[in-house]
Structure 1
């Protein structure tokens, strides 16, 4: 996400810096039989520069904020925020016999200063031929500080006889599992 913000900001900065008349001739003028007669006014070119400059500034500020948030030192608040966001992102439908695993959770967290391990798995009993409830717990701790901890709970119905897609519910709680 941060990379996309930076890419859009750079493209908008380039649009602001590039000569708008040359840009118009290279991208739009070919559509007209007499491009000189259809050329936009100076005010239109100036407004385009102002709008792209303002948008570039906005995307640059957003990209800087996202970058600082992603590389800032880990704290309990930052882990809680990343855990809540990961839980929202991971909740949803998955294909039959699948659920988010460690790799998907690590990508959703987006931090390399968080250590993750499977804490435990709980399977609810069900009669033969029916789906059973599954709860998987993943413990998150800070790489440098074990006192920073969180717990992701992944809950879904599964098993050999589960029909159709799997509805996965993911929750986050601050503290150890």
Structure 2
């Protein structure tokens, strides 16, 4: 792909990896690892016109056929997932680094976001009590934003720390 200056890669994750699921810790860890791998490769592939996206399919498979009810099985045909795979692989697709949940005619982008954050301690190491007192601010997601890379998050943190 590098030599051709073009490529499309579609990786597969799972909602168990993205959101967790009881009894699937090992599977979830592996599938979330795919998410991290894609996030690294999207930067490496960019200069070679290689787009990397990830699909979290919700479809009837050998793995899911014993756990899905007969009522749901006809709704989650794998054919509902095929169109987004085809589009991710299309030459005209310029999207890279997206994760999409797809199944039963439902399609949604999934991404990790980070809250606005709060600066504590005034340059000193904050106490656990200060963390507890401010945890509502730490966990506030009202101004959550996505970041494209670890470097983007670092820049955000240091801009936040800069005195105003």
The TM-score range, normalised by the shorter chain, is: under 0.3
Query: Scaled by the length of structure 1, what TM-score is found?
Result: 0.23
**Greater share of residues in helix:** 1
- When Rg is computed on C-alpha atoms for both structures, the one with the higher figure is 1
